[in-house]
Amino acid sequence: MYGCILKKNNGGYMTDKNKEIWDKSKHTDPKFTKRFRSKFGRELTTVDPMYQIMRMTENFGAVGDGWNYKVNYTYTDKLVFAEVSVAHKTIPYHTNDIIGSKWDWYGPVCSVEPLFNTKGNLDDEACKKAMTDALTKAFSHLGISADVFLGLFDNNKYIQQMTEKFKPQVADASKIKLTK
C-alpha cells in the first residue's frame, strides 16, 4: 500500500499514511485564531476560515483542482441549513489507456443559521455563515486545526508553544556570504 509501514493497532493494522494529513495540519498558528464568548457564556476559540482554506490548499492543491466542495441549502421560514460535502483527489490511476484521478468525497456536514438578525431584519450573510461553519466542521474531520477543536487553545502554555512554532524565521546575517 504505497510503500507504507503497517503497524499493529488494537488488533488491526493501520498504515503510517492514515494520519498523514491530520498530523500535517493539526497545529494552528495562533495569529489566525480569535477568542470569543459563546451565547452560553463559555470562552471559545475560532479559526479564520481563510486560514483553513489555505491549509487545505497546502495539503491538496488549489480548490477545484486538488480539493473541492459542494453545498446544498435548505430553507425554512426562519432558518437556512447548509450541507457541505468535501472531496480531495486521490493518487492518479491508469487503466485501459485512460489516465485520471478519483475524487474521495465525505459528508454531508451540516450547519444552520437564522435567516433574520436580532432586530428582525433579513441577514443577507446567513447562507455564507452556514456554509462557512459547515466547511469548518468538515475540514476538522481531516484534522485541519485539530488542536483548536480538541480544546488545546484553552491552555496558555500550548498557545505560547504554537506562537513559537509559527514565529517567522529570521536569517542569521553573520552566516550570509556576500559576493561582489
Residue 79 lies in a domain: yes
Residue 43 lies in a domain: yes
Which residue type does 3 have? G
Per-residue model confidence (pLDDT) at position 2:
36
- Which pLDDT belongs to residue 6? 44
Residue 5 counted as domain residue: no
Whether 22 maps to a domain, the answer reads no
What CATH number is given to the structural domain containing 56? 3.30.390
Evaluate whether residue 9 is within a structural domain: no
Residue 1 has what pLDDT? 32
**Which residues fall within 8 angstroms of residue 75, CB to CB, at 6 or more apart?**
81, 115
Say if residue 33's pLDDT is above 50.
Answer: yes
pLDDT at 13 over 90: no
Q: What would the pLDDT profile of 57-70 be if each residue is shown by its tens digit?
A: 999 999 999 999 99
Task: Answer whether residue 148 shows pLDDT above 80.
Answer: yes
85: containing domain = 30-156
Q: What are the grid coordinates assigned to 128, written together?
A: 455564507
How many domains does the chain contain in total?
1
Answer whether residue 170 shows pLDDT above 90. Answer: no
Mean pLDDT within 130-151: 96
Inside any domain, residue 166: no
Q: What is the pLDDT of residue 18?
A: 79
pLDDT at 27 over 70: yes
For residues 162 and 28, the answer to whether their CB atoms sit within 8 Å is yes
pLDDT band at 169 (very low <50, low <70, confident <90, very high): confident
Q: What is the model's pLDDT at position 38?
A: 84
- Take residue 127 and report the three cell numbers written for it: 447562507
